[in-house]
Amino acid sequence: MTSMPMTNIPKTAKTDDAQAVGRTLARAFDDDPMMRWFFPDDSSREAALGRYFTTLFTRQYVEHGVCERTEGAAAFWVPPEGQAKAVPDAETVQELQDILGDRAPLFRDAVEAAAEHSPKGSHWYLAVIGADPATRGQGHGAALLRSGLAKADAAGLPVCLESSKPSNLPFYEHFGFTVHEELRLPGGGPVLWAMRREPSPPAGG
């Protein structure tokens, strides 16, 4: 018996969606090199990632970003006007460090290193995007990516992101992103690829 594909039409993610968003992203990032570095224990990673992404969503991005989801994926975007406010406050940082446990110093150093390479100028930032592997091939991630890119294009602004998963680079390149910097995270961490996409003109424009 085959299951029906889940709808991949983007909709706004709200606070009430926090647990579903956290579960989706925990599954999506289970094989991500940076998340495996932060959460090396296979037996506890999914639960820890669920708490990690739920915390980021409820305390940071749902308040100051543009969060969208499908039934199998989620994405957190930050427009220019939200970027100063989207920096985690002290209470959020403490909550994340509690989730990370003895990996918290590595996380802190990684965040500080990445911040030194933050893109300049007005732009949209794709903070998080991920699809549950069970929905792979159904277009969930692509639908969310197109939705956010359309908003950035309407504003005439570039989009920036970082990826630590080499196999994701061709996916982003398909949508017009190019790698403009490679950063090795401190403490023996993985490589981050900083990518940028210039705005496309509106359709028919």
The C-alpha atoms of residue 54 and residue 19 are separated, in whole angstroms, by 6
66-91 average pLDDT score: 91
CB 199 within 8 A of CB 156: yes
Average pLDDT over residues 40-69: 96
Of 191, 203, 193, the C-alpha closest to 173 is 193
Least confident of 12-16, 34-38, 117-121, 174-178: 117-121
DSSP 175: T
Domain borders along the chain are 11-197
pLDDT of residue 5: 57
- Per-residue pLDDT, 3: 52
160, 119 contact by CB (below 8 A): yes
DSSP β-bridge partners for residue 191? 184
pLDDT over 90 at 155, yes or no? yes
For residue 1, what pLDDT band results from cuts at 50, 70 and 90? very low
The CATH number for 11-197, chosen from 3.30.460.80, 3.30.450.30, 3.40.630.30, 3.40.50.720, is 3.40.630.30
pLDDT in tens, 85-121: 777 788 888 999 999 999 999 999 998 888 888 888 9
> What pLDDT is stored for residue 8 in this prediction?
85
Give the mean pLDDT of 169-194: 95
Residue 4 has pLDDT above 60, yes or no: no
**Residue in the structure block whose two tokens are 């460090």:** 97
Stated pTM of the model? 0.92
pLDDT of residue 84: 81
CA angle 146, 150, 155 (to 5 degrees): 155
CA torsion, ordered 59, 64, 70, 71, to nearest 10 deg: 10
